[in-house]
Amino acid sequence: MNKIIVILGMCGSGKSVFCDYLEKKNFKRIYFGEVTFDKLKESGLEVSPENERMMREKLRCDGGMGVYATLNIPKIKEAIKSSDVVVESLYSWDELKILKENFSNIVTIAIVVNKQIRYERLVNRDYRPLTYEEAATRDLTETENIRKCEPIANADYYIVNNGSIEEFYERVDEVLNEIYK
């Protein structure tokens, strides 16, 4: 049976880099955040940290804290038929509970990084960079309003990503070997 690997971590921890790496290993990627961008586009709003936050909060207010999982279940069910799946950007405890209610083959991996390193990466990234202040605000919003820490605290595996990209990939491969042995 194909596996669903759920990647957890704070903004700037390396979730997208991890998912890019697994896509090269023929995993099908399901990006929960795509829902936010689709809804912003439908509403005629530009992509910005403020609009993204507003839309995430609106979706969760209207559909519950597990709305992203609920909206992505059909995509996961289709993808898992033919390949392993990597889920990027699961945030809330409710999202994880919904996935576990619907799938028995889930493995969670949390990527942890020192906050200062995360913030430096966010400031310097090409796509959707954040200032230190925006990153700090997002951290608070995600921990206080979304319950993002519970899935991270209960992950099956942890990867510390404070070093080089080569060290990160080495640790990813170690964890994947453990999962698939």
Predicted confidence (pLDDT) per residue in 134-155, tens digit: 999 989 988 988 889 999 999 9
Model confidence, pTM = 0.91
Q: Report which of residues 57 and 3 the model is more confident about.
A: 3
pLDDT band at 127 (very low <50, low <70, confident <90, very high): confident
Percent of residues in the chain assigned helix, strand, coil, to nearest 5? 55, 15, 30
pLDDT band at 42 (very low <50, low <70, confident <90, very high): very high
Domain that residue 24 falls in? 4-180
Is the four-CA dihedral 65, 128, 72, 3 of positive or negative sign?
negative
pLDDT band at 104 (very low <50, low <70, confident <90, very high): very high
E strand or H helix at 6: strand 4-8
The residue-averaged pLDDT of 28-33 equals 96
The residue-averaged pLDDT of 75-81 equals 97
Domains of the chain: total: 1
Task: List the CATH number of the domain containing 30.
Answer: 3.40.50.300
Can you give the pLDDT at residue 129? Answer: 92
Residue 116 has pLDDT above 90, yes or no: yes
Can you give the pLDDT at residue 140? Answer: 93
Taking Cα atoms as reference points, which of 152, 158, 161, 151 lies closest to residue 175?
158
Can you give the pLDDT at residue 102? Answer: 97
The residue-averaged pLDDT of 77-83 equals 97
Residue 12 has pLDDT above 90, yes or no: yes
